[in-house]
Amino acid sequence: MSRLTRTLLLASSLASGAAAQNGTQGEGLHSLMVAAGKLYFGTAMETNNFDDAAYQAIATNKNEFGMFTPENSQKWEVTEPTQNDFSFTQADSIAERVLSNGQLFRCHTLTWHSQLPPFVANGTWTPETLTAVLTAHITTVMQHYAGQCYAWDVVNEALNEDGSLRSSPFLTTLGEAYIPLSFTIAAQADPSTKLYYNDFNLETTPPKTAAALSLVRAVQSAGAPIHGVGFQAHLNVGQTPSRADLAAILTSFTALGVEVAYTELDIAHVAPALPADEAGNAQQAEDYAAVVGSCLDVEACVGVTVWQFTDRYSWVPSTFPGKGEACLWTEGYEKKVAYERVVGLLREAAVVEGGGGGAGGGAGDGSGSGNGRWGKWVDFFRGKLEYVMFDAYTPRP
């Protein structure tokens, strides 16, 4: 597809979005989230989801989803499997699909101990050689996607549950300085994107939460830019903290001047409660509502991303035998009670945010633009995106 075609596609999707915004063309997670004053409701997606028509019917519906994260395709083992040999085909195909549909792209991930290629995982490093490798990786990948990513998960899962730093080639060779170093390199590579620290169990594990707060402060003290903290929120039914407790945790981070987001939300039923019964599904609905509600309660919480929206593609059962049914849609693409509960919650919030405009008025086209708190910012980002797609969207080296 040529650059001009891409630009025309994006312009046409933005134009049709603007037209639809005047009406009440349905409602869904994303359009209601925007009407409630947030930036997006998103999902993870992978290239193996492309040929599933039922999946794509939901994913391309901008009322449901306004932001996409590649589940695996931007990880180091995929983008630089051997040293200085970069491959962007997989993630490009997701970016192109999403951006040409007028949806946003959230990028994941750069400095992480897992899914590393063998040359990094098994290499013998000095601080100088590993710094060079890290710099080349972050710079090349981020410059390839420059202007296309709302945010990047720059450092992922650097902490253990007790708050200590997780072992990795980066920690072993560079010490904790690898964290601010990664943010500094990232800021130079693409100054237009938001730079996030992203981790799991920050919602449930106080020593880890405290360590993450210290990590943010340490990056700031080192003079490196950090704009956001991602709460992965891989949670269990009946073990999810309350909305108030979650909001308090988010607020402890936003007090440091960073924004926050839920970046990989799923809430799994745990054996023997599988297959889930009515009571289990009702509890799951309450747990989803607590998480989404806590984002609504914190002004600098920008959005929620689920880690796949259907049980058909959830990572949970294969990684944790005895856990499952963690998503908002069933394997057969039926909406669960949790979906309806979240939509109901957002509908109420949209009424409040819209000053009594009503649910229909609150739900727009899912474009992410308009009257929400983040509308002007999204319009600004989209302006940049359109420029980038016109000027430089051809795959870069």
Residue 109: is the preceding peptide bond cis (ω within 30°)?
A: yes
Question: In the window 226-255, what residues touch ligand G3I (CB under 6 A)?
Answer: 232
Q: Is 266 in the site for ligand G3I (CB under 6 A)?
A: no
Q: Which long-range contacts (CB under 8 A, 24 or more apart) does 190-194 make?
A: 190/142, 190/143, 190/145, 190/146, 190/147, 190/149, 190/152, 192/146, 192/147, 192/384, 193/107, 193/142, 193/146, 193/147, 193/149, 193/150, 193/151, 193/152, 194/150, 194/151, 194/152, 194/227, 194/228, 194/259
Give the nearest distance from C-beta 19 to ligand G3I in angstroms: 36
Question: In the window 185-204, what residues touch ligand G3I (CB under 6 A)?
Answer: 200
Give the nearest distance from C-beta 219 to ligand G3I in angstroms: 19
Catalytic site includes residue 264: yes
- Which one of the listed residues 259, 264, 325, 386 is annotated catalytic? 264
Question: In the window 326-365, what residues touch ligand G3I (CB under 6 A)?
Answer: none
Q: Is 71 in the site for ligand G3I (CB under 6 A)?
A: yes
Q: Is 371 in the site for ligand G3I (CB under 6 A)?
A: no
Q: Measured between alpha carbons, how far is 45 from 64 in angstroms, rounded to an integer? A: 14
Q: Is 173 in the site for ligand G3I (CB under 6 A)?
A: no
Q: Is 315 in the site for ligand G3I (CB under 6 A)?
A: yes
Q: Which of 80, 259, 264, 386 binds ligand G3I (CB under 6 A)?
A: 264
Give the nearest distance from C-beta 131 to ligand G3I in angstroms: 24
Q: Is 87 in the site for ligand G3I (CB under 6 A)?
A: no
Total residues in contact with ligand G3I, by rule CB under 6 A: 8
Catalytic site includes residue 334: no
Residue with smaller CB distance to ligand G3I, 44 or 345: 44
Q: Which of 16, 72, 220, 330 binds ligand G3I (CB under 6 A)?
A: 72
- Which one of the listed residues 64, 157, 259, 325 is annotated catalytic? 157
Residue with smaller CB distance to ligand G3I, 71 or 287: 71
Residue in the shown chain whose Cβ atom is closest to ligand G3I: 315
Residue with smaller CB distance to ligand G3I, 288 or 313: 313
Residue with smaller CB distance to ligand G3I, 183 or 200: 200
Question: In the window 103-122, what residues touch ligand G3I (CB under 6 A)?
Answer: 114-115
Residue with smaller CB distance to ligand G3I, 178 or 307: 307
Residue with smaller CB distance to ligand G3I, 200 or 288: 200
The residues carrying an active-site annotation are 157, 264
**Would you tell me which residues interact with ligand G3I (CB under 6 A)?**
71-72, 114-115, 200, 232, 264, 315
